Amino acid sequence: MTFTMLRIVLLVIATIPLSIIALLSAPIDRTGRTFHTVTRLWSSLILWMFGIKVRTKGADLLDPAKHYIYVSNHASGFDIPAVVVGIPDDIRFVLKKELTRVPLWGWALKYGPYITIDRRNARDAQRSLDEAAERMRHGASVILFGEGTRTRDGKLQSLKRGAFTLAVKAGIPVVPVTINNTFGILPRGSLRVKPADIEIVFDKPIFIEGIKGRDGEERLMKQVQAAIARTYFQP
């Protein structure tokens, strides 16, 4: 067994009790803070086991008393633990429904404070966005991978409009987030993890006042796309 495979096995073993704790916390702590604390512990463990460090830029632009919609690029499975550790906020993921079918970990996602979307069902997806907007108006921050799926070649893809529809619905500021140097850590189709330092760059929050309708959402989308592209570098 290679060293990478050994670490994966150890990680799976560690994930089981953490998933159980997260799952049990969901009905007890409705704020989701315990769930997020466990998720952050799990994320820190992943990064530590594979020798990956996360450094951030621009966190001083964020007001800890406010909540935001964070919109980032997506290049690797390691983006998830990186943003959990790197974003100084109690964040909620908007994630695809298929992930909730994974035993234990997926069940924790399903019954925890995260928001799931069935992208194959337009009515369900719209209902999920409405739910996310309502949660945010009551003090939750949300993160979305704006491209919708991971890049296949390391290049930044076009952003999808869903994140910006949510921002306008909720009236919550959007923070463009650039994740750099994750594409080469775990290439598609490989189980070999290549340690690297991940950089997370926060841009200035974009306030939603005065932005309305589809045209406003598209202008906001272009603004966030430009902000991420400005600080993104290819591996």
Tens of pLDDT, residue by residue over 55-109, are: 999 999 999 989 899 999 999 989 999 999 999 998 888 777 777 777 766 777 7
The whole-angstrom separation of Cα 145 and Cα 126 is: 17
- Number of residues in the chain: 235
Identify the segments of the chain with pLDDT beneath 70. 1-4, 104-105, 119-122, 124-125, 138, 187-190, 235
Q: What is the pLDDT of residue 4?
A: 66
The whole-angstrom separation of Cα 220 and Cα 232 is: 18
b/e map of 98-112 (b: 16 or more CB within 10 Å)?
Answer: eebeeeebbbbbbbb
Six-digit token string for 87: 């974003």
DSSP single-letter state for residue 206? B
Of 202, 224, 203, the residue nearest 83 (C-alpha):
202
CB 36 within 8 A of CB 192: no
Q: What is the pLDDT of residue 122?
A: 65
Rounded to an integer, what is the distance from CA 3 to the centroid of its chain?
28
Q: What is the pLDDT of residue 2?
A: 66
Mark out the alpha helices in the chain (DSSP H runs): 3-28, 33-49, 79-86, 105-111, 122-137, 162-170, 213-231
Q: What is the pLDDT of residue 105?
A: 67
Six-digit token string for 174: 């959007």
Kindly report the pTM of this predicted structure: 0.87
